[in-house]
Amino acid sequence: MVFDVSKRKRAPEAMRRSESARVLIDALPDAVMVHRDERLVYVNARLLDQLGYPSAELLLGRPLRDIIHPDDSDKVLRRLEQMRLTGKPVPVSEERFLRRNGEVVTLEVAKVPLIFDEEPAVVAIGRDVSERRHAEQRFRTAVESAPSGMVMSDESGEIVLVNRAIEAMFGYTAHELVGQPIEILVPTRVRSLHPELRAGFFAAPGVRAMGAGRELYGRHKDGSEIPVEIGLNPIQNSEGTFVLCSVVDVSERKRAESALAMADRMTAVGTLAAGVAHGINNPLAYVKGNLLFAQAEIGDLLDTERAARPGPATLGRLAEVRKALGEAEEGANRVRDLVTDLLTFSRHREEPHATAQLTAVLESVLQMTANEIRHRANLAKSYEAVPAVVGEASRLAHVFTNLIVNAAQSIPEGEAECNEIRVATWTDSEGWAIVEIRDTGCGIAPDLQARIFEPFFTTKPIGSGTGLGLSIAHGIVSALGGGIDFKSELGKGTAFRVRLPAWHGERGVAPAGACGHAGRMRLLLVDDDPLVLRAMRRQLEREHDVLAATSGQECLALLRHGEKFDAILCDLMMPVITGMQLYDAMAEEFPRDAERMVFVTGGAFTERAQQFLERVPNPRVAKPIDADALRTALAALTSTS
Ligand SMILES: Nc1ncnc2c1ncn2[C@@H]1O[C@H](COP(=O)(O)OP(=O)(O)OP(=O)(O)O)[C@@H](O)[C@H]1O
Ligand SMILES: [Mg+2]
């Protein structure tokens, strides 16, 4: 045949070229097919393997559409047309193929025009990406279901992937985040620094923790900041380098840690406070006692002088002395109040002997602080019913006064109409009384939030705050078995919440205001400090008959001698025999007298002293003795006997 002959004539050269093309195609690790006029003219072993055909004969001569996924055939034809028109290879693109058994494989296909067996043909080289697609899918599933937040961004900082934990943590949907710059999750105050840090990471990608040694915060959709820990992992794929950040919300842990650190500090401050308080209380007891005595004496003398022989000069001077003594006593009272405050640091539990009505306390506090509030904010109140709580009204007033003054001071003066301080009460599901004080003031910066309960921490100018307010409030509230916490957002405001246990009324609580007069009594004072004894004696002698003993032994000796007393005022902490031991000894030998003991507590309580006071029903008064408190205690004795 002519045709045959002419072809064979050119054969050696052409055959050699086709042969080397076949060798090359067979050696490629990718699947290769050669087609002409949309019919397959050559396929390599890798392609047969990928499409599941045992031999080339099954495919050669067949139309291309037999192995192309019907949904992709238009696209393939378009690409072929484009190549025919330009005579150039078309870029790599994904095409789906059908395996012999009907399954689908996705190949990334490059197409090149080529002379094959002397005639123009198309070589299509396909790389299997199904495995990669699977891997990507597995990666997405793993990221998606990871318990910690995962967010992936590319080199330009664009978010390409977030998981559910990120959505929950930051309050955005995945849809709102993907495509946005990663800086959307960075607090505005440090946002401008972030691109440079990101560039630094991509310059030397490696697994690392972000911001080593620094506190990191994320920004929630609502603007609040979330303390976080961030791990960075570079991810390399065909599309470039990405960074996968794992984000853990550490708010809970931070809260727990700062509560612990706080407890530690409180213990340390408490020990110090107890020491200081104890050191001050004893001398204060006799300063105050003597002042009272001197005042009363001078009062008497003035009266008798006036009656007998009024000398204006003497009278004037005596009157001045009485005034000075009054002022000195006022000073001593202030020191006593300070000592009481210091002591709240050292007590783990306040003795639950008093009860208070919170709304009454709040109303009186609001009256006292009205001037602070008026020019800064509108006052709003929403009182829901709360149970009576354990605690002394005056101590609780101290807590709320500080919270309200703090709230007022967080708001600048002058725009009262635009600001609000809201005082709310309610009972929570566990029956605790809740008081919330919410302001629209300046808020507390996140990095200061952990410190505000520290003693002496203040951001106020010298002279306007000592920084003791919140630490004392914390001391008082936790001593009552309650709690105090807050939420604050810089620039928006702060809400402090105080939780107090309801009072269940089982203890012998003296009803408020019951400080009846017990009449003249025979008292025995027991204290190891003679100065304290002398001052107490002077103070009490005006109203009672008083005997003094400087030790427990002396007290027992007097009782054994047949002495009778209406009440025995006994210091709790004495050397040799403590007040507690004396009580136990008396309970054996003189049970009626044991019932008549009033314990005088002077500052620091040991663990044992606390347990003791919880065990015995006797009344107690604090040193330095306050006349009203003593009257109440003595009245309690007479009412029970
Ligand atoms: N409602 C609030 N709004 C903004 N910042 C507050 C608020 N309450 C407390 N703070 C911050 O906490 C710090 C400590 O408060 P704290 O009451 O312990 O002390 P102080 O008010 O500064 O001084 P002091 O109460 O002894 O007069 C304040 O200086 C302030 O920075
Ligand atoms: Mg304060």
Q: The domain that contains 537 carries what CATH number?
A: 3.40.50.2300
Name the pLDDT band for 341 (thresholds 50, 70, 90). Answer: low
Please tell me if the CB atom of residue 487 comes closer than 6 angstroms to any atom of ligand 1.
Answer: no
Question: Is 135 among the domain residues?
Answer: no
Of 110-124, 317-331, 340-354, the one with minimum mean pLDDT is 340-354
Q: For position 290, what pLDDT does the model report?
A: 85
Q: Which residue has the higher pLDDT, 462 or 413?
A: 413
Do 161 and 46 share a structural domain? no
Residue 97 has pLDDT above 70, yes or no: yes
Please tell me if the CB atom of residue 402 comes closer than 6 angstroms to any atom of ligand 1.
Answer: yes
Task: Give the pLDDT mean for 318-344.
Answer: 79
Q: Name every residue whose Cβ is closer than 8 Å to that of residue 584 and which is 6 or more positions away in sequence.
A: none
Name the pLDDT band for 6 (thresholds 50, 70, 90). Answer: very low
Please tell me if the CB atom of residue 452 comes closer than 6 angstroms to any atom of ligand 1.
Answer: yes
Testing ligand 1's pocket by substitution, the residue of 423, 458, 462 carrying the most ligand atoms inside 8 A of its CB is: 458
Q: For position 61, what pLDDT does the model report?
A: 93
Q: For position 344, what pLDDT does the model report?
A: 64
Do 487 and 366 share a structural domain? yes
Q: Please state, for a pLDDT cut of 90, what percent of the chain lies above it.
A: 41
- Residue 234's domain is classified under what CATH number? 3.30.450.20
Do 402 and 289 share a structural domain? no
Do 476 and 369 share a structural domain? yes
Question: Is 93 among the domain residues?
Answer: yes
Task: Give the pLDDT mean for 384-395.
Answer: 86
3-class SS shares of the chain: helix, strand, coil, % to 5: 45, 25, 30
Do 168 and 154 share a structural domain? yes
Of 135-149, 458-472, 498-512, the one with minimum mean pLDDT is 498-512
Residue 604 has pLDDT above 70, yes or no: no
Question: Is 136 among the domain residues?
Answer: no
Do 277 and 239 share a structural domain? no
> Do 247 and 169 touch, CB atoms closer than 8 A?
yes
Q: For position 183, what pLDDT does the model report?
A: 94
Name the pLDDT band for 187 (thresholds 50, 70, 90). Answer: very high
Is the pTM of the predicted complex or chain greater than 0.75?
no
Domain count along the chain = 5
Question: Is 516 among the domain residues?
Answer: no
Do 627 and 567 share a structural domain? yes
- Residue with CA closest to ligand 1 atom 10: 406
Do 458 and 433 share a structural domain? yes
Residue 206 has pLDDT above 50, yes or no: yes
Averaged pLDDT of the chain: 85
Do 226 and 260 share a structural domain? no
Name the pLDDT band for 500 (thresholds 50, 70, 90). Answer: very high
- Residue with CA closest to ligand 1 atom 8: 406
Question: Is 134 among the domain residues?
Answer: no
Do 230 and 115 share a structural domain? no
Q: Which residue has the higher pLDDT, 146 or 439?
A: 439
Q: Which residue has the higher pLDDT, 472 or 308?
A: 472
Q: Which residue has the higher pLDDT, 280 or 345?
A: 280
Is residue 489 exposed (0-12), middle (13-18) or buried (19+ Cβ within 10 Å)? middle
Do 496 and 612 share a structural domain? no
- Residue with CA closest to ligand 1 atom 19: 467
- Residue with CA closest to ligand 1 atom 17: 469
Backbone φ/ψ region at 575: left (φ over 0), alpha (ψ -120 to 50), beta: beta
Ligand nearest to the CA of 472: 1
Question: Is 385 among the domain residues?
Answer: yes
Task: Give the pLDDT mean for 68-83.
Answer: 92
Work out which ligand 1 atom sits closest to the CA atom of 467. 19
Query: Which residues have their alpha-adjacent CB atom under 5 A from ion ligand 2?
Result: 402, 406, 469
Last residue of a domain, one of 249, 264, 283: 249
Ligand nearest to the CA of 460: 1
Q: For position 337, what pLDDT does the model report?
A: 72
Q: Which residue has the higher pLDDT, 543 or 70?
A: 70
Q: For position 556, what pLDDT does the model report?
A: 93
Question: Is 403 among the domain residues?
Answer: yes
Span 439-473, pLDDT tens digits: 999 999 998 998 898 877 899 887 677 788 898 88
Question: Is 336 among the domain residues?
Answer: yes
Please tell me if the CB atom of residue 484 comes closer than 6 angstroms to any atom of ligand 1.
Answer: no
Ligand nearest to the CA of 473: 1
Parent domain of 537:
522-640
Helices (H), 410-568: 446-449, 469-479, 530-541, 552-560
Q: For position 263, what pLDDT does the model report?
A: 73
Residue 518 has pLDDT above 70, yes or no: no
What's the gap in Å between 467 CA and the centre of ligand 1? 6
Name the pLDDT band for 605 (thresholds 50, 70, 90). Answer: low
Q: Which residue has the higher pLDDT, 366 or 212?
A: 366
Name the pLDDT band for 507 (thresholds 50, 70, 90). Answer: very low
Query: What is the enclosing helix (H) or strand (E) of 344?
Result: helix 312-346
Residue 515 has pLDDT above 60, yes or no: no
What's the gap in Å between 406 CA and the centre of ligand 1? 5
Name the pLDDT band for 339 (thresholds 50, 70, 90). Answer: confident
CA–CA separation, 301 and 309 (whole Å): 11
> Do 354 and 396 touch, CB atoms closer than 8 A?
no
Residue 284 has pLDDT above 60, yes or no: yes
Q: For position 421, what pLDDT does the model report?
A: 97
Last residue of a domain, one of 71, 93, 128: 128
Please tell me if the CB atom of residue 406 comes closer than 6 angstroms to any atom of ligand 1.
Answer: yes
Residue 451: both structure tokens together: 């410190």
Do 630 and 537 share a structural domain? yes
Of 226-230, 386-390, 518-522, the one with minimum mean pLDDT is 518-522
Name the pLDDT band for 353 (thresholds 50, 70, 90). Answer: low
Please tell me if the CB atom of residue 419 comes closer than 6 angstroms to any atom of ligand 1.
Answer: no
DSSP, res 604: P
Task: Give the pLDDT mean for 55-70.
Answer: 93
Q: What is the DSSP string of 379-417?
A: EEEEE-----EES-HHHHHHHHHHHHHHHHHTS-TT-GG
Q: For position 516, what pLDDT does the model report?
A: 40
Last residue of a domain, one of 66, 99, 128: 128
Please tell me if the CB atom of residue 495 comes closer than 6 angstroms to any atom of ligand 1.
Answer: no
